[in-house]
Amino acid sequence: MRERVRARLALMRSRGSPLFLVGEVSPCRPGIRMLLAMEAPRLLIEDLVLEPPTIDDAPAWAAAQDDECAIWFDWPSRPTTEQCLSYLRRITLDAEPDSYVWAIRVLDGFAGGIDLKFDEGRWNVSYFVAPARRGRGIARRALCAVVEWAERELCIAEISTRVHVDNIASQRVLEAAGFTRIRTQRSPGADHDDHICARTFPPALRSSHRAMT
Protein backbone atom coordinates (compact mmCIF):
# COMPACT_ATOMS: atom_id res chain seq x y z
CA MET A 1 0.00 0.00 0.00
CA ARG A 2 2.79 2.42 0.90
CA GLU A 3 4.56 1.78 -2.40
CA ARG A 4 1.30 2.38 -4.24
CA VAL A 5 0.86 5.73 -2.52
CA ARG A 6 4.45 6.72 -3.35
CA ALA A 7 3.95 5.79 -6.99
CA ARG A 8 0.71 7.76 -7.12
CA LEU A 9 2.36 10.85 -5.65
CA ALA A 10 5.29 10.59 -8.07
CA LEU A 11 2.94 10.42 -11.05
CA MET A 12 0.91 13.37 -9.79
CA ARG A 13 4.11 15.41 -9.34
CA SER A 14 5.27 14.58 -12.85
CA ARG A 15 1.97 15.85 -14.28
CA GLY A 16 1.93 18.99 -12.20
CA SER A 17 -1.35 18.01 -10.54
CA PRO A 18 -2.38 20.03 -7.48
CA LEU A 19 -2.44 17.89 -4.37
CA PHE A 20 -2.40 17.93 -0.60
CA LEU A 21 0.28 16.35 1.47
CA VAL A 22 -1.01 13.25 3.21
CA GLY A 23 -2.37 14.43 6.55
CA GLU A 24 -2.22 18.11 5.56
CA VAL A 25 -4.88 20.38 7.00
CA SER A 26 -7.46 21.31 4.39
CA PRO A 27 -7.28 25.02 3.49
CA CYS A 28 -11.06 25.01 3.08
CA ARG A 29 -11.98 23.24 6.28
CA PRO A 30 -9.58 24.02 9.13
CA GLY A 31 -9.09 21.12 11.48
CA ILE A 32 -9.99 18.53 8.86
CA ARG A 33 -6.99 16.59 7.68
CA MET A 34 -6.96 15.51 4.08
CA LEU A 35 -6.22 12.04 2.79
CA LEU A 36 -4.40 11.61 -0.50
CA ALA A 37 -5.97 13.87 -3.10
CA MET A 38 -7.66 12.77 -6.34
CA GLU A 39 -9.87 10.08 -4.83
CA ALA A 40 -13.47 10.73 -5.81
CA PRO A 41 -15.76 10.69 -2.75
CA ARG A 42 -19.25 9.24 -2.67
CA LEU A 43 -21.81 11.99 -3.27
CA LEU A 44 -25.56 11.78 -2.69
CA ILE A 45 -28.11 14.13 -4.23
CA GLU A 46 -31.81 13.30 -4.11
CA ASP A 47 -32.17 9.88 -5.78
CA LEU A 48 -28.67 9.91 -7.31
CA VAL A 49 -25.51 8.27 -6.02
CA LEU A 50 -22.18 9.40 -7.44
CA GLU A 51 -19.33 7.03 -6.62
CA PRO A 52 -16.06 5.82 -8.13
CA PRO A 53 -16.72 3.40 -11.00
CA THR A 54 -15.52 -0.18 -11.07
CA ILE A 55 -14.41 -2.35 -13.96
CA ASP A 56 -17.80 -4.07 -13.76
CA ASP A 57 -19.31 -0.84 -15.08
CA ALA A 58 -17.56 -1.21 -18.45
CA PRO A 59 -20.52 -2.64 -20.43
CA ALA A 60 -22.93 0.00 -19.10
CA TRP A 61 -20.29 2.73 -19.50
CA ALA A 62 -19.94 1.83 -23.18
CA ALA A 63 -23.66 1.40 -23.82
CA ALA A 64 -24.43 4.81 -22.31
CA GLN A 65 -22.10 6.61 -24.72
CA ASP A 66 -24.11 6.31 -27.91
CA ASP A 67 -23.64 7.87 -31.34
CA GLU A 68 -25.02 11.17 -30.04
CA CYS A 69 -22.27 11.26 -27.39
CA ALA A 70 -19.68 10.58 -30.09
CA ILE A 71 -20.91 13.63 -32.02
CA TRP A 72 -20.89 15.94 -29.00
CA PHE A 73 -17.45 14.76 -27.82
CA ASP A 74 -15.89 14.81 -31.33
CA TRP A 75 -15.10 11.11 -31.25
CA PRO A 76 -14.68 9.20 -34.53
CA SER A 77 -17.02 6.54 -33.13
CA ARG A 78 -18.61 5.51 -29.87
CA PRO A 79 -16.28 3.71 -27.42
CA THR A 80 -16.28 -0.06 -27.22
CA THR A 81 -16.69 -2.08 -24.06
CA GLU A 82 -13.01 -3.01 -24.29
CA GLN A 83 -11.96 0.64 -24.46
CA CYS A 84 -14.15 1.50 -21.48
CA LEU A 85 -12.78 -1.46 -19.56
CA SER A 86 -9.23 -0.23 -20.18
CA TYR A 87 -10.17 3.27 -19.01
CA LEU A 88 -11.96 2.06 -15.89
CA ARG A 89 -9.08 -0.25 -15.06
CA ARG A 90 -6.75 2.77 -15.10
CA ILE A 91 -9.15 4.59 -12.77
CA THR A 92 -9.30 1.72 -10.30
CA LEU A 93 -5.50 1.37 -10.39
CA ASP A 94 -5.02 5.10 -9.69
CA ALA A 95 -3.36 5.57 -13.08
CA GLU A 96 -5.40 8.73 -13.73
CA PRO A 97 -4.26 10.80 -10.72
CA ASP A 98 -5.29 14.13 -12.22
CA SER A 99 -8.97 13.18 -12.45
CA TYR A 100 -11.90 12.65 -10.15
CA VAL A 101 -14.26 10.20 -11.84
CA TRP A 102 -17.74 9.18 -10.75
CA ALA A 103 -20.32 6.70 -11.96
CA ILE A 104 -23.83 8.16 -11.70
CA ARG A 105 -26.31 5.65 -10.32
CA VAL A 106 -30.04 5.64 -9.71
CA LEU A 107 -32.10 3.13 -7.75
CA ASP A 108 -32.48 0.77 -10.69
CA GLY A 109 -28.97 0.94 -12.09
CA PHE A 110 -26.28 2.83 -13.97
CA ALA A 111 -27.22 6.27 -15.31
CA GLY A 112 -24.00 7.84 -16.62
CA GLY A 113 -20.63 9.26 -15.69
CA ILE A 114 -18.99 12.54 -14.78
CA ASP A 115 -15.37 13.57 -14.29
CA LEU A 116 -13.46 16.58 -13.00
CA LYS A 117 -10.00 16.73 -14.54
CA PHE A 118 -6.98 18.98 -13.96
CA ASP A 119 -5.52 19.59 -17.40
CA GLU A 120 -3.07 22.27 -18.56
CA GLY A 121 -3.53 24.29 -15.41
CA ARG A 122 -7.33 24.26 -15.47
CA TRP A 123 -10.12 22.20 -13.92
CA ASN A 124 -12.46 20.83 -16.59
CA VAL A 125 -15.69 18.89 -16.20
CA SER A 126 -17.42 16.53 -18.61
CA TYR A 127 -20.38 14.21 -18.25
CA PHE A 128 -22.71 11.85 -20.09
CA VAL A 129 -26.08 10.26 -19.36
CA ALA A 130 -27.39 6.97 -20.73
CA PRO A 131 -29.99 7.45 -23.50
CA ALA A 132 -32.83 5.86 -21.52
CA ARG A 133 -32.11 8.15 -18.55
CA ARG A 134 -32.05 11.46 -20.41
CA GLY A 135 -34.63 14.15 -19.82
CA ARG A 136 -34.87 13.52 -16.06
CA GLY A 137 -32.49 16.18 -14.79
CA ILE A 138 -29.76 13.65 -13.99
CA ALA A 139 -26.93 15.57 -15.68
CA ARG A 140 -27.95 18.81 -13.97
CA ARG A 141 -28.15 17.26 -10.51
CA ALA A 142 -24.90 15.32 -10.90
CA LEU A 143 -23.07 18.40 -12.17
CA CYS A 144 -24.41 20.53 -9.31
CA ALA A 145 -23.27 17.90 -6.80
CA VAL A 146 -19.73 17.82 -8.23
CA VAL A 147 -19.51 21.61 -8.49
CA GLU A 148 -20.71 22.12 -4.92
CA TRP A 149 -18.25 19.50 -3.65
CA ALA A 150 -15.36 21.06 -5.59
CA GLU A 151 -16.19 24.53 -4.27
CA ARG A 152 -16.40 23.26 -0.71
CA GLU A 153 -13.47 20.87 -0.62
CA LEU A 154 -10.97 21.93 -3.30
CA CYS A 155 -11.13 25.73 -3.03
CA ILE A 156 -10.50 26.05 -6.75
CA ALA A 157 -11.06 29.31 -8.63
CA GLU A 158 -12.95 28.02 -11.63
CA ILE A 159 -14.34 24.97 -13.40
CA SER A 160 -14.64 25.11 -17.17
CA THR A 161 -15.91 22.97 -20.01
CA ARG A 162 -16.46 23.14 -23.74
CA VAL A 163 -19.75 22.25 -25.39
CA HIS A 164 -20.70 21.77 -29.03
CA VAL A 165 -22.67 24.81 -30.25
CA ASP A 166 -25.52 22.52 -31.34
CA ASN A 167 -25.72 20.67 -28.01
CA ILE A 168 -28.57 22.76 -26.62
CA ALA A 169 -29.49 20.25 -23.89
CA SER A 170 -26.00 20.33 -22.38
CA GLN A 171 -25.90 24.12 -22.60
CA ARG A 172 -29.09 24.24 -20.53
CA VAL A 173 -27.55 21.87 -17.98
CA LEU A 174 -24.51 24.11 -17.63
CA GLU A 175 -26.62 27.24 -17.27
CA ALA A 176 -28.71 25.58 -14.55
CA ALA A 177 -25.49 24.67 -12.70
CA GLY A 178 -24.25 28.26 -12.69
CA PHE A 179 -21.93 28.18 -15.71
CA THR A 180 -21.70 31.15 -18.06
CA ARG A 181 -20.49 31.34 -21.65
CA ILE A 182 -17.01 32.84 -21.86
CA ARG A 183 -16.36 32.66 -25.59
CA THR A 184 -16.98 30.63 -28.74
CA GLN A 185 -14.10 29.10 -30.66
CA ARG A 186 -13.33 26.46 -33.25
CA SER A 187 -13.13 22.96 -31.85
CA PRO A 188 -9.57 21.59 -32.30
CA GLY A 189 -9.36 19.41 -35.38
CA ALA A 190 -13.11 19.61 -36.05
CA ASP A 191 -15.47 21.44 -38.41
CA HIS A 192 -17.66 23.10 -35.81
CA ASP A 193 -17.49 25.64 -33.00
CA ASP A 194 -17.61 25.05 -29.25
CA HIS A 195 -18.86 27.32 -26.51
CA ILE A 196 -16.35 27.63 -23.67
CA CYS A 197 -18.29 27.84 -20.42
CA ALA A 198 -17.07 28.33 -16.87
CA ARG A 199 -18.25 28.67 -13.32
CA THR A 200 -16.13 30.95 -11.16
CA PHE A 201 -16.14 30.65 -7.38
CA PRO A 202 -15.98 33.50 -4.84
CA PRO A 203 -12.42 34.77 -4.22
CA ALA A 204 -12.57 33.76 -0.55
CA LEU A 205 -12.79 30.12 -1.58
CA ARG A 206 -10.11 30.14 -4.23
CA SER A 207 -7.48 27.49 -4.25
CA SER A 208 -4.67 27.60 -1.74
CA HIS A 209 -3.38 24.21 -2.79
CA ARG A 210 0.35 23.77 -2.42
CA ALA A 211 2.31 21.73 -4.89
CA MET A 212 4.50 19.08 -3.32
CA THR A 213 8.17 19.69 -3.90
Average pLDDT for 58-82: 89
* 18-56 pLDDT tens trace: 444 333 334 444 433 333 446 788 999 888 999 999 999
Residue 148 lies in a domain: yes
* The pLDDT of residue 60 is above 80: yes
Tell me the pLDDT band of 58, cut-offs 50, 70 and 90.
very high
- Parent domain of 38: 2-205
Residue 211 lies in a domain: no
Q: Give the pLDDT of residue 31.
A: 38
**CATH number of the domain encompassing residue 72:** 3.40.630.30
Residue 59 lies in a domain: yes
Mean pLDDT of all residues in the chain? 79
Residue 210 lies in a domain: no
Rounded distance, CA 155 to CA 142, Å?
19
Entry pTM:
0.75
Residue 213 lies in a domain: no
Average pLDDT for 193-208: 74
Q: Report the number of distinct structural domains present in the chain.
A: 1
Residue 145 lies in a domain: yes
Q: Give the pLDDT of residue 182.
A: 93
Rg over alpha carbons for the chain, rounded to the nearest Å, is 17
Residue 212 lies in a domain: no
- Structure-model confidence comparison of residues 129 and 7, the more confident one: 129
* The pLDDT of residue 211 is above 80: no
* 134-186 pLDDT tens trace: 999 999 999 999 999 988 888 788 999 999 999 999 999 999 999 999 999 88
* CA-wise closest residue to 57 among 32, 88, 30: 88
- 3-state SS track over the chain: CHHHHHHHHHHHHHHCCCCCCCCCECCCCCCCECCCCCCCCCEEECCEEEECCCHHHHHHHHHHCCHHHHHHCCCCCCCCHHHHHHHHHHHHCCCCCCEEEEEEEECCEEEEEEEEEEECCEEEEEEEECHHHCCCCHHHHHHHHHHHHHHHHCCCCEEEEEEECCCHHHHHHHHHCCCEEEEEEECCCCCCEEEEEEEECCHHHCCCCCCCC
| Distances 200 to 24, 144, 177 between C-alpha atoms, Å | 25, 13, 11
| Distances 91 to 1, 88, 206 between C-alpha atoms, Å | 16, 5, 27
* CA-wise closest residue to 173 among 108, 103, 114: 114
* 106-140 pLDDT tens trace: 998 999 999 999 887 889 999 999 999 999 999 99
